Amino acid sequence: MKGILDQLGVNWRLLLTQGVNFFILLAVLTFLAYRPLIRIMEERRKKIELGLKAGEEGEKRLKHIEELKAEKLAQAERSSLSLISRAEEKAKKEAGVIVKNSEAKAKTILEEAVDLAQRKKMEELENLTAEAKNIIKSAIVKTVQLDPRLIDEALISRAVETIKKERV
């Protein structure tokens, strides 16, 4: 074997030294570079996995929150519609009561106005009757004071005019 290596031009001592140097370099690089790089890469992989898991968890939470939000919004919409419908019903009932009350008040006011008008009419009629009686009484008194033979239309007109002047 020694002959073959010599024929090929390989120095076995140099080859052995280079082999030992290679293994020493391999050992040094393994301990000083390869293992720390592997450890750093493993830590980084773990951080990335944790980040991905946290991202997935965040997405799940976000979906859950969105579902809760949609549920709460739907519930709030249902309750607001319920409140609005109850308020509308209450407003309709109160409007009906108000209309009935206002109709009743209008009816009583109208009745009072009719009664008042009738009382005023009766008072005016009584005043007119009393005034007519006074005028007739005065006219009779004036005609009696005159001589009944001298009574004619001109005299009656003059007496009525005199009474009218006295009243005004």
CA distance 13 to 132: 168
CA distance 111 to 24: 125
Terminal-to-terminal C-alpha distance of the chain: 171
How many domains are there within the chain?
1
Domain that holds residue 26: 2-167
pLDDT tens for each residue of 113-141: 999 999 998 888 788 777 877 777 777 66
Mean pLDDT of 74-92: 93
Percent of the chain exceeding pLDDT 90 equals 62
Of 128, 123, 156, nearest in space to 142 by CA: 156
**Do 167 and 159 touch, CB atoms closer than 8 A?**
no
CA distance 71 to 68: 5
CA 76 to chain centre: 13
**Confidence category of residue 35, pLDDT binned at 50, 70, 90:** very high
pLDDT tens for each residue of 143-160: 666 665 555 666 666 777
**Do 140 and 132 touch, CB atoms closer than 8 A?**
no
Q: Which amino acid is at 133?
A: K
How distant, in Å, are the alpha carbons of 87, 116, 167 from that of 5?
A: 108, 148, 170
